[in-house]
Amino acid sequence: MRVSAATKRKLSSTEGQIGIGTLIIFIAMVLVAAVAASVLIQTSGVLQQDAMSTGKEASKEVSSNLQIQQIEGFRAKNTDSNLSSTIDALKLTIGLNAASEAVDLNQVILTISDGYITNDLVYAGNENTLRSIDSDGVIDSGAMGDYGLGNATRDRELLFDFLSQNDGEFVVNQRTYYIADKVRDDDNSFSVMNPVITSGDVIVIYVGTLSEVSDNQYRYLIDARVDNGVAQTTSQLDLSPRATVNLVMTPEAGASATADFTLPSTFGSKERVALY
């Protein structure tokens, strides 16, 4: 059977159209694949960044752990044999777990409770958390008044027996603040005005727990004078024998450090009592 020249030309034209159509489809598939690959690469990059960020945050949450190593209680006194019947100050020895991130005490809230009264305390040098402006436009820094201007003994006197002005009113230091000092600080990261704890540091924290029973009846607490005659400077806590105490230190990031303990049934003749 013979095929005419016209038929041959028609078949050739049809084959050409099919070839062009196939080429267009192929190019379209390549373009779609390229766009899809670009989206996948971009999405992969975003997911990788998110994963790295989440990993860093998770690592920080796990590793930034405060550690309460020891807690001692102190009784107010007039003489070595004339002691109060309550624990009137706590001394906490703290540090960080191995490989922990640095912790700034300015961002650590310390909560103490005797089961009836709870005090939420901030670091005495923190000028931001409680900062306020009174009706006359006067700025109260929020820090404990005169903290860090004298020696460690003076700071304890301020904590145990004085008031500070905040928001135009006076606040009881024991109910508002805690103070800290360094025992070991090899990298010199810690100071009163820059209280940053790094791995290997050993820091002591003082918490006022002066009871109403002891207020203005005793002259000394640790090495501080507590008989300035100002009324209502107590912590409102009552750490009598057998009292149950809950103490929590909550940092800006990482796990909280908690200490729960029950006071001894008697303090005997001891001024300093091991509690935890």
Strand partners, 179: 206
Contacts of 154 (CB under 8 A, 6+ apart): 146
State yes or no: pLDDT of 133 exceeds 70: no
- 3-state SS string for 141-171: CCCCCCCCCCCHHHHHHHHHHCEEEECCEEE
Q: What angle do CA 248, 253, 256 make, to 5 degrees?
A: 20
pLDDT band of 178, cuts 50, 70, 90: very high
In a 3-state reduction of DSSP, which class is residue 59?
A: helix
The pLDDT tens digits for 37-70 are 766 766 665 566 555 545 444 444 454 589 999 9
**Are the CB atoms for 203 and 168 separated by under 8 Å?**
no
Higher pLDDT pick, 231 / 147: 147
In a 3-state reduction of DSSP, which class is residue 64?
A: coil
Q: How many C-beta neighbours within 10 Å does residue 145 have? A: 18
Distance CA 160, CA 64 (A): 30
State yes or no: pLDDT of 106 exceeds 50: yes
pLDDT band of 173, cuts 50, 70, 90: very high
The pLDDT tens digits for 73-102 are 999 999 989 999 999 999 999 999 888 899
Q: How far is residue 62 CA from its own chain's centroid?
A: 13
- The H-assigned helical ranges of the chain are 5-63, 152-161, 173-176
State yes or no: pLDDT of 107 exceeds 90: yes
Can you give the pLDDT at residue 27?
80
Can you give the pLDDT at residue 14?
60
